[in-house]
Amino acid sequence: MKENLRSFFIKLFAISIAVIIIINLIFNILLGERLEKIDKIMSLSDSTSREEVRKKIRSEFNKGLEKDYIFSEDDRVLIYKIYKKIKKEFSELETNNN
């Protein structure tokens, strides 16, 4: 009986360690990269990370300026409609205040 109990605890310990390793691997594979990206965004208080974000934004602006059209046709139509609506609201605001 003592031998069975000892064998049980050894197996229980081995299975527990295996489960912990599997959970750790799954966590690192599925969530590790996402958490690194979130940490990078959250670390904007660091001057080097702010500089990296600034460089990335500038490079994306330059890529956009090299293209003939920055927006797709659908986006241009949508932005134009929003622009007209905002312009109309501002003109109504001016007439109401005068």
How many domains does the chain contain in total? 1
Please give the Cα distance from 69 to 77 (Å, whole number).
13
The answer to whether position 65 is within a domain reads no
Return the biggest CA–CA distance within the chain.
97
CB 33 within 8 A of CB 42: no
Residue 86: domain span: 71-98
46 DSSP assignment: S
| Structure confidence at residue 74 as a pLDDT band (50, 70, 90) | very high
| Structure confidence at residue 14 as a pLDDT band (50, 70, 90) | very high
Chain position carrying tokens 């934004």: 57
Mean pLDDT (the chain) is: 86
pLDDT over 70 percentage in the chain: 95
CB atoms < 10 A from the CB of 45, how many?
Answer: 7
pLDDT at 98: 67
The answer to whether position 93 is within a domain reads yes
Please give the Cα distance from 54 to 43 (Å, whole number).
14
The answer to whether position 95 is within a domain reads yes
The answer to whether position 92 is within a domain reads yes
Q: Does 67 have pLDDT greater than 70?
A: yes
pLDDT over 90 percentage in the chain: 39
The answer to whether position 27 is within a domain reads no
Sequence-separated (6 or more) residues with CB below 8 Å from residue 71: 79
The answer to whether position 90 is within a domain reads yes
Task: Give Cα separations from 62 to 56, 70, 85 (angstroms).
Answer: 10, 11, 29
Q: If you average pLDDT over residues 61-65, what whole number do you get?
A: 89
The answer to whether position 89 is within a domain reads yes
pLDDT at 69: 86
The answer to whether position 44 is within a domain reads no
